[in-house]
Structure 1
Amino acid sequence: MAASGTSSPPKARARTGRAELVGGPLDGMLLDVTGWDPQEVVDGAMLMSEHGRFGPGGRSEYEPADADPGAGGVSRFVWRGDVP
């Protein structure tokens, strides 16, 4: 039986659970955003990073580059800077 068009293509499903980190010390890594509510996605993330400006214990701030929580999530978080 043919699909009725209600399922998403595999690429779209993969985007809902992971976001690529772009720039900064965590460039290229994937962030699991599965289960995040839409406001958490919009707020972005402060991630522990030993490789940032402040070394061990420092954090790197990332914000969504293309957040549209109503359309299935975000695919990229862009580096904003490092904080102690």
Structure 2
Amino acid sequence: MDDAYDELLLRGRVYGADHEDPGPRPGRAYRELVGGPLDGLLLDVTGWDAEALATGAALSTHLGRHGGEGRSHYEPRPTDPRRWDWTADTP
């Protein structure tokens, strides 16, 4: 990893983490969420297989277009798979 990416991990909050302990943990793998309602959060992908990492994720959030029942979809950026771009919100 490069220094800029390491710095991002030190600053970031992790999606779904407790508000009392929001930071990333050593030895875990993360992806940066870019755009949409979860912009700037880190997603813990530790243990995900290659297919899941290539597909992306539909993440529950009350911040998206569909409120508490909605999901925000993120997919790996082709030029930098450590960053996942927002593609849509769905109910």
Structure showing greater relative contact order (alpha-carbon pairs closer than 8 Å, 6 or more residues apart):
1
What is the correspondence of 1:58-77 to structure 2 with a 5 Å cutoff? 58-66=70-78, 74-77=81-84
In structure 2, do the counterparts of structure 1 residues 66 and 33 end up closer, same or farther at CA, with 3 Å as the change threshold? farther
Q: Give the drift of 1:67.
A: 7.4
| TM-score normalized with structure 1 length | 0.72
1:47 partner SS: strand
Percent of paired sites with the same residue: 49
- Structure 1 runs of 4+ aligned residues shifted over 3 Å read none
* Distance in 1 of aligned mates of 2:48 and 2:74: 15
* Distance in 1 of aligned mates of 2:60 and 2:79: 22
- Equivalent residues of 1:41, 1:67 under 8 A apart: no
The residue identity in structure 1 corresponding to 2:36 is G
- Residue 86 of structure 2 corresponds to residue 79 of structure 1: yes
Unaligned runs of 5+ in 2: 10-27
In structure 2, do the counterparts of structure 1 residues 82 and 22 end up closer, same or farther at CA, with 3 Å as the change threshold? same
Please report the RMSD computed on the Cα atoms of aligned residues, expressed in angstroms: 2.3
Q: Tell me the residue number matched to 2:15.
A: none
- Residue 65 of structure 2 corresponds to residue 53 of structure 1: yes
In structure 2, do the counterparts of structure 1 residues 44 and 83 end up closer, same or farther at CA, with 3 Å as the change threshold? same
